[in-house]
Amino acid sequence: MSSPSVLHVDLDAFFVAMELLRRPELAGTPVVVGFDGPRGVVSTASYEARAFGVHSALPMVQAKRRCPQATYLPVDFAHYAPASKRFHAILRDFTPVCEAAGTDEAYLDVAGSGRLFGDGATIAGLIRERVRAEIGITASVGVATNKLVAKVASDAAKPDGICVVATGEEAAFLAPRPVRELPMVGAKLEERLAALGLRTIGEVAAWPVEALRARLGRMGEELHARAQGRFEAPVLESRGTAKSVSRETTFGKDVGDRGRLRAILRTQAERVARDLANSGLAARTVVLKLRFPPFETLTRSWTGPGQVALADEIFEAGAELFERAWREEGERPVRLIGVGVMNLGPPARQLRLGETFEADRLADAVNALRDRFGEDSVRRATEMEDGSVSEPSG
């Protein structure tokens, strides 16, 4: 049985840790880094501040009520950026298969690095040593057979630790943990699961998948697989050929109208589908991105049993992700919305029973107009409003 080779490396309270390098007198005290003001939110809190219930994305006003004795510092990206760049350079010294997940975290697949550096656990230790020596801060690492379990393991290792989940032990490792620790489970979904008597990941894994599907739709199937420790998305090498295609729209004024957001999502899905068609690719995973003011960003993803390539398929999955995520966030106004696809490959699509090529032909006609007259030559009336900026990314 092979040893686990997927790592999730996460810098511990990164912004706070960087502030403590230049303010060592604050070590061991509650420290909060974030954006101040009536709509400001916490970016990072020290573990001492977390003991008072202060956490990332918490409104700053609430944070000051919960922990008035903390030291509150503004975000200083210029101070953090060189350390983030050095962190990712350290990771790439161990494997080119390195997928950045933010300024302070990344996934690695070190299956091909064993002869040079040792097994996954050994490499995790070497990475932590270099982060401490070269940057002066600490990192926690989860080591497992896939990204999902590695992410939960790195959270379990915090702060400043390593957690290795042996091959074949994924479900047993996850089982006793609160369901909220499973990536994709937010506050609202946690409440829905609790109403069903499902409070641990193991209880979700033990429920019949048909019952979860009946209550949660396609998300129920994904949730059931993840609760059992099954997750197929590979670690994606960040450099080289694009590994994803996405479209985003940033609003000049926050938008809270469901109809407009869904219309924009559909147009984005059409443009992503066009990019896939132009590249001769199809995708396995659909990703939704939402940003709330001022800079609070969340992503949700869905991986199906087969490929998606048509606009309707991408929109259907993206809209379902949007409805759940937006509902979980109290349907707050949105600053940015985006949809994208990952896990790209050559298309291998068959027509379903009763399916025709009408949707393909309509999409081809719309794409032809946009190719000839520009991106905005065909738009839905409900998405049109001054102040929004659409842009591709990938």
pLDDT in tens, 109-168: 999 999 999 999 999 999 999 999 999 999 999 999 999 999 999 999 999 999 999 999
**Residue 237 domain-assigned?**
no
pLDDT of residue 87: 95
Please report, for the chain, how many H helices and E strands are present, in that order. 15, 13
State how many domains the chain has: 3
**Residue 149 domain-assigned?**
yes
DSSP 24: G
Clarify whether 328 is annotated catalytic.
no
Which is nearest to 247 in space by CA: 289, 297, 300? 289
Euclidean distance between CA atoms 285 and 380, whole angstroms: 25
For 164-168, 171-175, 230-234, which range has the lowest pLDDT when averaged over its residues?
230-234
Q: For the domain that residue 190 is a member of, what is the CATH number?
A: 1.10.150.20
Does the pLDDT at position 201 exceed 90? yes
**Residue 236 domain-assigned?**
no
- 72 and 214 in a single domain? The answer is no
- 180 and 162 in a single domain? The answer is no
pLDDT band at 38 (very low <50, low <70, confident <90, very high): low
- Tell me which of 357 and 305 has the higher pLDDT: 305
- 291 and 375 in a single domain? The answer is yes
- Out of 105, 170, 296, 328, the active site residue is 105
Does the pLDDT at position 394 exceed 80? no
Q: For the domain that residue 303 is a member of, what is the CATH number?
A: 3.30.1490.100
- 10 and 34 in a single domain? The answer is yes
* Burial label, 25 (beta-carbon count in 10 A; 0-12, 13-18, 19+): exposed
Q: For the domain that residue 37 is a member of, what is the CATH number?
A: 3.30.70.270
**Residue 329 domain-assigned?**
yes
Q: Identify the sign of the CA torsion 243, 126, 152, 139.
A: negative
Tell me which of 153, 168, 183 is where a domain ends: 168
Cross-strand pairs, 388: 251
- 275 and 207 in a single domain? The answer is no
- 189 and 303 in a single domain? The answer is no
**Residue 203 domain-assigned?**
yes
- Alpha-carbon 30 to chain mean position: 27
- Tell me which of 122 and 192 has the higher pLDDT: 122
**Residue 238 domain-assigned?**
no
Instruction: Tell me which residue range forms the domain holding 210.
Output: 174-227
Q: What is the mean pLDDT of the chain?
A: 85
The HSE-up count of residue 118 (CA atoms within 13 Å, CB side) is 8
- 3 and 81 in a single domain? The answer is yes
Q: Where are the beta strands (DSSP E) in the chain?
A: 6-11, 31-34, 42-45, 71-74, 98-102, 105-109, 139-144, 162-164, 244-255, 282-292, 296-308, 334-345, 388-393
**Residue 285 domain-assigned?**
yes
Supply 346's token pair. 């050559």
Do the Cβ atoms of 283 and 344 come closer than 8 Å? yes
**Per-residue model confidence as pLDDT tens digits over 283-301:** 889 999 999 886 778 889 8
**Residue 233 domain-assigned?**
no
- 275 and 348 in a single domain? The answer is yes
- 137 and 200 in a single domain? The answer is no
Strands 244-255 and 334-345: antiparallel
- Tell me which of 362 and 53 has the higher pLDDT: 53
Distances 385 to 54, 264, 370 between C-alpha atoms, Å: 37, 11, 19
pLDDT of residue 329: 85
